[in-house]
Amino acid sequence: MTIFLLIILVLLELGFMISALAKSSSKKEWTAKRLIVNAAELITFFALVLLPGIDLSFRFTGLIVMLIIRIAVSGIFFLANRKSSKTKKKAPIVLGALFGSVLIASSMIPAFIFADYEGLETTGPYKVLEADAILIDRSRLEPFENDGSYREVPVYIFYPEGVSEKMPLVIFSHGAFGFYQNNASMILELASHGYVVASIEHPYHAIFTHDSSGKTIIADRKFLNDSMTIGTSDASEAEVFEVTSQWMELRTADMNFAIDSFKEGNTDSWHIDAKQKDAVSKAVSLIDTTKIGLIGHSMGGATAVTCGRRSDISAVVDIDGTMLGENTGIDGNTVIINEEPYTTPLLDLQNQNHHDEAEQALKTGEPYSNNVIVQNAAISYRTYFAGSGHMDFSDLPLFAPPIAKMLGTGDVNNVEMLKTLNGLVLEFFDCYLKGEGNFEVKDHY
């Protein structure tokens, strides 16, 4: 319906242009008609809001603001020309219609990029509440700044409403250029089934976040460039290891700090908005710190796996992440992989291409961290989703299809895949954090 709206609005512009060109009008007459057309465009939008795919969300905020501004400008021009009898020239009429069409199209870009997605319906018995805070690690300086500020870790907590008993804690880490809502459907599904889920953000690795002063922080440009080129360049294994080990050192420190902060439970040391204090305290009070699970997508999955070696972690899920934190060094041009037994129950989820690469590595004997860790784990499960791409393991294909496709998707049904994926994660944590049921996976889905 978004394209239908665009066509209608552009046709109004072109129709007005053709009408004005067919019959000479004074500036007074033309500006009056211009004001009427601009008002008609805004009325048309609000009338079409009743149709699916068109709403009053951020997707159309730019269009609404632009249309209102054009009405105001047209009104000013009408008042300025209300006594003018001069004939309106044809060139400005054409340019005005073309400029108006471009304005309409450009203001609707968010509506074409982002879908009308409000999340998947949760299946648990609990309504989910949310709270947020910022953890400040006073043992680390912020490596992306030179002002002596401490490293900050924003955390968004999702928890069941109306409960008083202790519940397991699951901590989620996003991938490169992700943010805390990357896997919102999974987070909400877990919380609706009786988990406290904390989604952390890694400043300067996240696409955007904010610090304790309210400043918006976007992804670091060097991190962006390195992430986009390191897999396709001629960089040696040693160069790749040097860069990725720095990434993992930062991210694992963030997650370890979050784990320790939740275990300590001293929210007085956190930066919390006054309106959020009661909600944060309530969420933290529900946590059973003896039952902690870690999960992450992509580089967040790698973060979860490495932090999962802690003795206080009960279960780990790696969502399509290469376990970079388990690469411990370089011997010549060969990566050295941590071969210490992995004692925490582990679920490794892969897309089609990653599965194929892992299988090929097994056949050739090529060192691959995921293979080594899974083989050395006391309890491990591995499966893949046939035909899936990397971003299919997140909510992005449903929220912003063009961006997800650009970053890598397959030919799966994203709604059905996410339901299956979220169900597997829930069953895994139910088994190893709540002691409910026996967990099993198919070879693939």
What confidence tens digit (pLDDT) does each residue in 69-82 have?
999 999 998 888 87
Residue 232, pLDDT score: 66
pLDDT at 165: 95
The predicted structure's pLDDT at residue 141: 97
Kindly tell me if the per-residue pLDDT of 137 is higher than 80: yes
Q: Residue 233's pLDDT is what?
A: 65
Q: Which one-letter DSSP state was computed for residue 357?
A: H
% of the chain residues with pLDDT over 90: 80
Average pLDDT, the chain: 94
- pLDDT tens digits, 400-425: 999 999 999 999 999 999 999 999 99
DSSP alpha helix (H) spans, 193-236: 221-229
As a whole-number percent, the residues of the chain with pLDDT over 70 amount to: 99
* Average pLDDT, integer, range 76-100: 84
The answer to whether 247 and 299 are in contact (CB under 8 A) is yes
The amino acid sitting at 8 is I
pLDDT value at residue 332: 82
Distance, CA of 103 to CA of 108 (rounded, Å): 9
pLDDT tens digit string along 231-290? 666 778 888 899 999 999 999 999 999 999 999 999 999 999 999 999 999 999 999 999
**Which SS3 state, helix, strand or coil, does residue 87 take?**
strand
Overall average pLDDT of the 291-303 stretch: 98
Q: Give CA separation, 48 vs 1, 3, 381, in Å.
A: 9, 12, 49
Give 325's DSSP letter.
G
pLDDT at 376 over 70: yes
* Tokens of residue 206, six digits: 């996240």
Whole-Å CA distances, 226 to 137, 236, 246, 408: 26, 13, 12, 18
pLDDT at residue number 334: 87
pLDDT of 88 higher than 90? no
- Cβ neighbours around 118 below 10 Å, total: 10
